[in-house]
Structure 1
């Protein structure tokens, strides 16, 4: 069984971002970029399926400019067998990404597609669900456990009320949650081997996908600065503040 893992290039989670002066987007120039943490979990799960003898090949795919090849190489250092880049300089929204991934899946015919549940930049949590809808395939989101037995997939997913277990046929789409696994660190020999693994570059035109704009960003602003806290010397003073200033009692 082939496993397809879409991944995304994002600003490193430890980097503080700034909004551009024209409020059109966040400033990414000269910032450290990284593999989206949820995508890293998805790659780890696919590699574990291969190590267990369930998957025969792990293919990672990304949509973006040439710089995104860095994250494909990172994924291959973690254990993926080959990479596919859909090259574009456009800032695409989730539906457009899902359409391109659907076109890649039509070529690859993977038995299982595992994505991170969301990216830490847009936080949309939409691409996996849209991809499943376009494929007319079963889906399981927020997965904390994945089991494959023959042509059947069993997924434990996290919901507000606890855990839910779903069973579905393959091919299927799964989105990974934080508790699915703990990603490994890439070893230096694996990083060197990843440089020699195959990486194919496709264009939007080659995939035959027509993209449209469905959303428009009006402006991007930083969150409001929090006011400094106040130290109080008694419970009476706290009650007075809550009653007369916060007006919550």
Structure 2
């Protein structure tokens, strides 16, 4: 079985700030991490590798050259191969253009049975790239996967809903997007860290995949961000302590004081 995992290097958003003059993210000095949902996707691929025979796991990412570090972390977690899509022509790509590039790279890889991706990236929160890749590859997709199993040439998935779940069975090849409830991502293996830095990670440019400049980059992206900003802090919350009766009385007093009731 051949598994491809789509991963992304993102800024650690707990430390990201907005430049109030330009309304853009301040990235200087902000550490980059493996996108959390992508870590769950990779973990599930590695679980299948451990529990089944003849499974290979390839991670792929589109990003700047420094994404090489994140890909080596994936190798140190247990992935077999890594591939980086990096070219100035890809700069400014929105979800549509990004999925064009990644789908083209996957077509170049060739055969695959399962493509894993995270539900969404914490720097964009669109949850669009995974589904768009499946559409462009012409394969089925199941999003918000919180549990799964392989049954012959099919995948049985439990898909997370707001008020429950649904069970879905589909043929492979298929694309699945993972949520955090799917598993607990492992740490890097100490003995694999050295090996990860001995491996060569191929870098594909726009000339290496079957795609044109009209399909990627800022000019090819239909999405336009009007403004980014940090919401103003409205004030701290209040913790009411005491017995249930005392807390209820205090709450009523607070609501009356605020003229809510």
Deviation at residue 91 of structure 1 after TM alignment: 3.0
In 2, the alpha carbon distance for the partners of 1:9 and 1:223 equals 25
Question: What is the aligned partner in structure 2 of residue 242 from structure 1?
Answer: 255
Residue among 187, 206, 210 paired with 1:204 = 206
Which residue is equivalent to 1:39? 38
Structure 1 pair 61–243 and aligned structure 2 pair: CA distance change class (3 A) = same
Change in CA separation of 1:168 and 1:20 when aligned onto 2, cut-off 3 Å: same
- Asked whether the 8 Å contact 2:15–2:30 carries over to 1, the reply is no
From the superposition, tell whether residues 85 and 232 of structure 1 become closer, same or farther in structure 2 (CA, over 3 Å): closer
Q: TM-score, normalised by structure 1?
A: 0.91
Distance of aligned partners of 1:237 and 1:148 in 2 relative to their CA distance in 1, 3 Å threshold: closer
Which residue in the other structure is 1:62 paired with? Answer: 61
Please name the residue that 1:103 is paired with: 104
Cα-to-partner distance string for 1:83-142 (whole Å, 9 max, x where unaligned)? 111103413211112111211221222111000101111111111111111122111111
Compute the displacement of 1:48 (Å). 1.2
* Alpha-carbon distance between aligned partners in 2 of 1:239 and 1:157, rounded to the nearest angstrom: 40
Structure 1 pair 223/187, CA: closer, same or farther in 2 (3 Å)?
same
TM-score, normalised relative to structure 2:
0.87
Question: Once the 2 structures are TM-superposed, how far is the Cα of residue 149 of structure 1 from its aligned partner?
Answer: 2.5
Q: Could you tell which deviates more after superposition, 208-217 or 116-125?
A: 208-217
TM-superposed deviation, 1:187: 2.1
2:48 corresponds to: 49
Q: Let me know the Cα RMSD of the aligned residues.
A: 2.2
1:226 is aligned to 2:234: yes
CA distance in structure 2 between the aligned counterparts of 1:88 and 1:226, rounded to whole angstroms: 42
1:19-34 equivalent positions in 2, closer than 5 A: 19-34=18-33
What's the counterpart of residue 144 of structure 1? 146
Moved more, 169-178 or 47-56: 47-56
Unaligned ranges ≥5, structure 1: none
| Pairing 1:106-185 to 2, within 5 Å after superposition | 106-108=107-109, 109-185=111-187
Q: Deviations over 1:208-231 (max 9, x none)?
A: 322212111122111111224568
Distance 2:144 2:239 in 1: 41
C-alpha contact 1:46 1:55 (8 A) present in aligned 2: no
Cα drift, residue 243 of structure 1: 4.2
Confirm or deny that 1:11 pairs with 2:11.
yes
**1:215 corresponds to:** 223
- Using the TM superposition, name which of 57-66 and 100-109 deviates more: 100-109
Partner of 1:94: 95
> Structure 2 vs 1, CA of residues 174 and 229 (structure 1 numbering), >3 Å: closer, same or farther?
closer
Instruction: String of CA shifts for 1:148-193, please: whole Å, max 9, x gaps.
Output: 2231111111112312111111110000011111111112211111
Change (3 A) 1:237 1:166: closer
Count of residue pairs the alignment pairs up: 247
